[in-house]
Amino acid sequence: MKKLINNVDDVLTESLAGFGRAHADLVDISTDPKLVTRKGGGKKGKVALISGGGSGHEPMHAGFVGMGMLDAACPGEVFTSPTPDQMLAAAEAVDGGAGILWIVKNYAGDVMNFEMAGEMYDGPTETVLTNDDVAVESSLHSQGRRGVAATVIVEKIVGAAAERGDDLAACKALGDRVNAASGTMGIALTSCTVPAAGSPTFEIGESEMELGVGIHGEPGRKRVDLMKADEIAEALIQAICESIAPSGDDDLLLLVNGMGGTPLMELYLLYNSAMNVAGERGLKIARSLVGNYCTSLEMAGASITLTKLDTEMAELWDAPVHTAALRWKA
Amino acid sequence: MKKLINNVDDVLTESLAGFGRAHADLVDISTDPKLVTRKGGGKKGKVALISGGGSGHEPMHAGFVGMGMLDAACPGEVFTSPTPDQMLAAAEAVDGGAGILWIVKNYAGDVMNFEMAGEMYDGPTETVLTNDDVAVESSLHSQGRRGVAATVIVEKIVGAAAERGDDLAACKALGDRVNAASGTMGIALTSCTVPAAGSPTFEIGESEMELGVGIHGEPGRKRVDLMKADEIAEALIQAICESIAPSGDDDLLLLVNGMGGTPLMELYLLYNSAMNVAGERGLKIARSLVGNYCTSLEMAGASITLTKLDTEMAELWDAPVHTAALRWKA
Amino acid sequence: MDEATLIRALVAACCATIEEHSGELTKLDQAIGDGDHGLNMSRGFKAITAEADALAAMSLGDALKKAGMTLVMKVGGASGPLYGSLLMDMGKAASTAPANEADVAQLLRAGIDAVKKRGKSDVGAKTMLDVLVPVAETVAEGGNVDAIRARADEALEATRDMLATKGRAAFLGERSIGHIDPGARSSALLIHAVCNVLEAS
Amino acid sequence: MDEATLIRALVAACCATIEEHSGELTKLDQAIGDGDHGLNMSRGFKAITAEADALAAMSLGDALKKAGMTLVMKVGGASGPLYGSLLMDMGKAASTAPANEADVAQLLRAGIDAVKKRGKSDVGAKTMLDVLVPVAETVAEGGNVDAIRARADEALEATRDMLATKGRAAFLGERSIGHIDPGARSSALLIHAVCNVLEAS
Ligand SMILES: Nc1ncnc2c1ncn2[C@@H]1O[C@H](COP(=O)(O)OP(=O)(O)O)[C@@H](O)[C@H]1O
Ligand SMILES: Nc1ncnc2c1ncn2[C@@H]1O[C@H](COP(=O)(O)OP(=O)(O)O)[C@@H](O)[C@H]1O
Ligand SMILES: [Mg+2]
Ligand SMILES: [Mg+2]
Ligand SMILES: [Mg+2]
Ligand SMILES: [Mg+2]
């Protein structure tokens, strides 16, 4: 295992400390329990947005704490849901009196831990559960679909709504709407290695790729021969369209997201392929984002997300944001 | 070779096209000759900053075209200097009548091609040659040191100076000053693969790393056993300090730069190590930047850069910038 | 064995087996999950070890509740809330120390109900429940420690051919078949450890 | 062979040898450079092939100048400006077609001077000059094609033990020793190709 680390046990603490020091103007951090909160704490009268999940998906979520997005992020161990004590401490730190909105990716562990935190927290809370990954048919099992890259879009759009003063119910409803309007599917060319595990999560041949991979290196739809970028874009967009069924009139947000080990050059190339596929299908790409936002450690690969934006969602997407990983008009 | 591409021959064109489409609000692109220019072309009366170099270092340089930074970027083939026709076309597209400043990394190919372009261009031009890589002792050979990640800092600071109206001589002098105040050294954990070559540029064992690697996978100081992040930070900062000799009074800019295949989690961890080392040495880190800015395709690894900022440089660093890869206060 | 000695022995045995098999649990979880089950369990049981003195000073019921809360707060993932709920609700049901097999069976049932509720799941989904539920049956039937251990092993092995419909393994669909479930394995390990302690006492 | 036929033959032979050895040049450049020399040369000579008709319609001098400019504009890297300057300045020196060995030697010298100037380098730095300069000497001494080819091969082999002080290989310091220089190899290939054409004509 080749990583820029000291000891396997300290990866998370040291990385978090580095994040806190690099962005001391934006966030405060705590290492016990592990927590990233917006500088200055809760904003009075504003719904507080708290997300979290296993680490290894950076910049998600800590990179999205700041003006116009999250109020706090709870980083779990690598690929492991955080614990309720983190969520409770986050809630106490950023509660502005208008309620807490948990933004949770749909994994059994995350759901249960946030659920326990919600039960323990003394104050109004709501949860937006993201489940945008169209790779796994929900009919196959009762766990439902996984939450992946569209979580970033939910956090941005709902973050802007909270910032302008929307109440808890409105934020929750908007988050559900954005999630329902989104579909994502990803592929992996290589595996990732959980530091503490020390060996790759899965084996994959030199001419294979995993179609529909999860953001923890979980298998997806199937193991296939390496595909060209154009074919990948076609396969992913096809699967997404089957789920969210966009029409030619919809304003779409296209996110081409890197898994961590794929360089920008390839992401822009895949974005170009995706734009071509969108064009052929008569889809209207109104907003775009290309980069590493919801990653899987050093895995090589990418995902494509499409979100059908209504006018309000588009406005909120465009609204100012100032976080470590997403910043505009501020 | 596992990459998100279609055909090896089209990598550059398609990636460039994707970049242009994703950032159509910021840049115009041309594919023959290959060129990225600031939206709207040259700004009358402003010194035009043009950089360029081999591709594979994204976001450098195209990602830095925009307000407060570059006016144009000339992307060469992967790891190959661009050609004079690109530079001439760039100059024609963005010349605002106040002269052209070429920002060139010190590689024989880049130097010669920009030199030929300068000789052919009909108008005042100056060149800032960056050579911040302290890995290779310049005494060993007459090529001088390589230009690496500090190029980003030169482009940002001189970009802000040009934006506020500094003339060609002032921009050139400032660029030289920033370069002289900077030192960088990097390490690699894995090799990169040039798409057209199809196989890794160098072989490296499971427990080895390359200390002082170049951004084209060129060897550096020596092949050593894998080091811990703390040891890496110490070794790199030691080498940089030997070159730029910062005092405890200097305001330093610390850039922890990823080589492309290393996830953000590790970069922040290395940043934390670097901050600890800086602290032990009594160095004052006044500004920080952590991320993938000057990469080497999908190579795993990182570099550390320190720049001694004077008051003017710090102000210009903080000035608004709006490019694809660096954006603040705009 | 008095209650304090028993609690100490249980803590020691459970923590030891988790520590010893942590690599194996991680490997199992790499095959059909995300490769952290060994680390999760080890983190949780190390935290329990750290509070062994405090636990030994409590009643069995309070010790179970406290240990459960520790798992909830330290483990994360799916196994944290699930094992945490198991112990916490066992503790709640153990207001008095269990006197016989029927008491133990009732405890276990209470804990298992909490797991089912928290995990919105039941037997047949290829999870820890596929070991815990059969074992509780054997306990209720008055089976001795040998019978309990045998039932746990059998039940564990039976998860191999199941299709996962809960937890991360569910995302694999058909591909989850052919591997035993990591949580079922950790449950079997814990049951063995508990049986060994009871046998020695 | 008239001038047009000669130009066509030279273009064909040079392009063919570069195409054939492009993989080898890349491998050599991977060892002590950045692994693109084969691609760079191949890109440049493909562009020259594409304009073979136009070149054949020109005088040798103009054809050299045009081919040189094509290399400058298409190759990039270090080899583009260097081979480009070599050909352009050979072309400038060839206002009239070379009549004898002395003319050819003088052409070569002009081109080599341009390379030295552009590259701020000279023999001994482990570059293409370490083949071009000795070859020019043999030409000036009136050596026949066999002698020229032999000298090129010898000179190429001699770059193996040199310490690079120019170009990317210079960054390797001592580690550049033990590998022949990619640019020296491409120069040797081109010289062989030219010799083969002259021999056949
Ligand atoms: N809904 C559920 N009900 C019961 N057990 C579950 C459920 N989801 C997961 N499990 C159990 O948890 C185990 C995985 O735990 P662990 O790997 O620690 O957490 P995670 O799946 O979050 O990474 C599975 O092997 C399974 O036995
Ligand atoms: N300053 C120089 N003078 C002469 N030849 C040089 C010089 N720099 C490089 N070369 C030649 O160029 C070759 C490398 O060319 P190439 O790989 O195409 O360009 P780059 O080094 O930019 O990648 C070297 O092997 C060497 O022969
Ligand atoms: Mg997990
Ligand atoms: Mg090159
Ligand atoms: Mg797991
Ligand atoms: Mg080269």
Q: What is the mean pLDDT of residues C90-106?
A: 85
Q: Answer yes or no: is the C-beta of D168 below 6 A from any ligand 2 atom.
A: yes
Q: Which residue has the tokens 């006016």?
A: B71
Inter-residue contact D52 to B64 (CB < 8 Å): no
Cβ of D168 within 8 Å of Cβ of B218? The answer is yes
**Distance (Å) from the alpha carbon of B60 to chain A's nearest alpha carbon:** 10
Give the mean pLDDT of chain B. 96
For residue D124, report the distance from its CA to the centre of ligand 1, in Å: 67
Query: Is the CB of C171 inside 8 Å of chain A's CB atoms?
Result: yes
For residue D107, report the distance from its CA to the centre of ligand 4, in Å: 28
Cβ of C173 within 8 Å of Cβ of A141? The answer is yes
B307 CB-contact burial (10 Å; exposed 0-12 / middle 13-18 / buried 19+): buried
Q: What is the mean pLDDT of residues A290-314?
A: 98
Per-residue burial over A157-188, b if 16 or more Cβ lie within 10 Å, else e, is bbbbbbbeebbbeebbbbbbbbbebbbbbbbb
Q: Which residue has the tokens 């074919």?
A: A231
The Cα–Cα gap between C20 and C42 comes to 9
* Dihedral angle computed from the Cα positions of residues A40, A41, A44 and A46, in that order, rounded to the nearest 10 degrees: 120
ipTM (interface predicted TM) = 0.91
Cβ of B22 within 8 Å of Cβ of A288? The answer is yes
- C-alpha to C-alpha distances, A255 to A294, A315, B329, nearest whole angstrom: 11, 17, 24
Ligand 2 pocket test target in B55, B77, B78, B80 with most atoms within 8 Å of CB: B80
Chain segment D13-55, per-residue pLDDT in tens: 999 999 999 999 999 998 888 888 999 999 999 999 999 999 9
The Cα–Cα gap between B86 and B208 comes to 39
Which chain C residue's Cα is nearest to A119?
C118
Q: What is the mean pLDDT of residues C135-149?
A: 95
Inter-residue contact D34 to D40 (CB < 8 Å): no
Q: pLDDT category, A163, cuts 50, 70, 90?
A: very high
The Cα–Cα gap between B34 and B48 comes to 18
Q: Answer yes or no: is the C-beta of D78 below 6 A from any ligand 2 atom.
A: yes
**Distance (Å) from the alpha carbon of B142 to chain A's nearest alpha carbon:** 32
Residue D2 contacts by C-beta under 8 Å, 6 or more apart in sequence? none
List beta partners, residue A78.
Answer: A55
Chain B residue numbers with beta carbons less than 8 Å from the beta carbon of D80 are: 81, 83, 109, 112-113
Residue with the nearest Cα to atom 1 of ligand 2?
D119
Q: Which of C53, C92, B27 is nearest to B18 (CA)?
A: B27
Cβ of C119 within 8 Å of Cβ of A108? The answer is yes
The Cα–Cα gap between D41 and D80 comes to 8
Give the mean pLDDT of chain D. 94
- C-alpha to C-alpha distances, D4 to A326, B222, D59, nearest whole angstrom: 61, 52, 8
In this prediction, residue D169 carries a pLDDT of 83
Chain B residue numbers with beta carbons less than 8 Å from the beta carbon of D75 are: 80, 83
Is the pLDDT at C156 greater than 80? The verdict is yes
> What SS3 class is residue A71?
coil
Query: Is the CB of A131 inside 8 Å of chain B's CB atoms?
Result: no
Q: Which of B237-251, C174-188, D98-112 has the lowest mean pLDDT?
A: D98-112
The Cα–Cα gap between D159 and D32 comes to 12
Query: Chains contacting D with at least 3 CB pairs below 8 Å?
Result: B
Query: Is the CB of C166 inside 8 Å of chain A's CB atoms?
Result: yes
The Cα–Cα gap between A155 and A305 comes to 14
In this prediction, residue D128 carries a pLDDT of 97
Chain segment A193-233, per-residue pLDDT in tens: 999 888 898 899 999 999 999 999 887 788 999 999 999 99
Is the pLDDT at A2 greater than 90? The verdict is yes
Least distant ligand from the CA of D182: 2
Residue C157 contacts by C-beta under 8 Å, 6 or more apart in sequence? C180
Is A23 an annotated catalytic residue? no
Cβ of A298 within 8 Å of Cβ of B263? The answer is yes
Q: What is the mean pLDDT of residues B238-250?
A: 97
Equal fold, B10-181 vs B183-318:
no
Check residue B294 and give left, alpha or beta (phi > 0: left; psi -120 to 50: alpha): beta
CB pairs under 8 A between B and D: 123
Run of H or E residues at B285: strand B284-291
In this prediction, residue D173 carries a pLDDT of 78
Chain segment B276-322, per-residue pLDDT in tens: 999 999 999 999 999 999 999 999 999 999 999 999 999 999 999 99
Instruction: Place domain B10-181 in its CATH homologous superfamily.
Output: Dihydroxyacetone kinase; domain 1 (3.40.50.10440)
CATH level 3 topology of B183-318: Hypothetical Protein Tm841; Chain: A;domain 3 (3.30.1180)
The Cα–Cα gap between D164 and D145 comes to 29
Chain segment B40-97, per-residue pLDDT in tens: 998 999 999 999 999 999 999 999 999 999 999 999 999 999 999 999 999 999 999 9
Residue B311 contacts by C-beta under 8 Å, 6 or more apart in sequence? none
Which amino acid, one-letter code, is at B262? T
Chain segment D181-197, per-residue pLDDT in tens: 999 999 999 999 999 99
* Contact yes or no, C with A (3+ CB pairs under 8 Å): yes
Q: Which of A100, A79, A80 is nearest to A90 (CA)?
A: A100
Is the model more confident about D168 or about A179? Answer: A179
Chain segment B118-136, per-residue pLDDT in tens: 999 999 999 999 999 999 7
The Cα–Cα gap between B40 and D76 comes to 28
Q: Which of B112, B319, B108 is nearest to B214 (CA)?
A: B108
Task: Domain ranges for chain A, please list them.
Answer: 10-181, 183-318
- C-alpha to C-alpha distances, C136 to A66, A165, C21, C107, C124, nearest whole angstrom: 49, 52, 23, 9, 15
Q: Which residue has the tokens 């976001």?
A: B59
Chain segment A29-65, per-residue pLDDT in tens: 999 999 999 999 989 999 999 999 999 999 999 999 9
What long-range pairs does C107-113 form, CB within 8 A, spacing at least 24?
Answer: C108/C132, C108/C135, C108/C136, C108/C139, C109/C136, C109/C140, C111/C85, C111/C86, C111/C87, C112/C86, C112/C136, C113/C89
DSSP string, A137-202: -GGG-TT-PPP-THHHHHHHHHHHHHHHT--HHHHHHHHHHHHHTEEEEEEESS--B-TTT-SBSS
* Contact yes or no, A with B (3+ CB pairs under 8 Å): yes
Q: Answer yes or no: is the C-beta of D136 below 6 A from any ligand 2 atom.
A: no
Query: Is the CB of B233 inside 8 Å of chain A's CB atoms?
Result: no
Nearest-by-Cβ selection for B4 from A14, A266, A275: A266
Is B57 an annotated catalytic residue? yes
φ/ψ (deg, to 5) at A185:
-150, 145
- Tell me what percent of chain C is helix, strand and coil, each rounded to the nearest 5: 80, 0, 20
**Distance (Å) from the alpha carbon of B119 to chain A's nearest alpha carbon:** 31
The Cα–Cα gap between D129 and D150 comes to 16
In this prediction, residue A141 carries a pLDDT of 56
Q: Which of D122, D33, D121, D118 is nearest to D83 (CA)?
A: D118
The Cα–Cα gap between C193 and B194 comes to 55
In this prediction, residue A31 carries a pLDDT of 94
The Cα–Cα gap between A192 and A215 comes to 10
Q: Which residues have C-beta under 5 Å from ligand 3, the single-atom ion?
A: A 79-80; C 34, 36, 77
Q: Which of A83, A81, A63 is nearest to A73 (CA)?
A: A63
Q: pTM for the whole thing?
A: 0.93
Structure tokens at A177: 């709407």
> What SS3 class is residue A248?
coil
Q: What is the mean pLDDT of residues A124-146?
A: 84
Q: pLDDT category, B140, cuts 50, 70, 90?
A: low
The Cα–Cα gap between A99 and A47 comes to 5
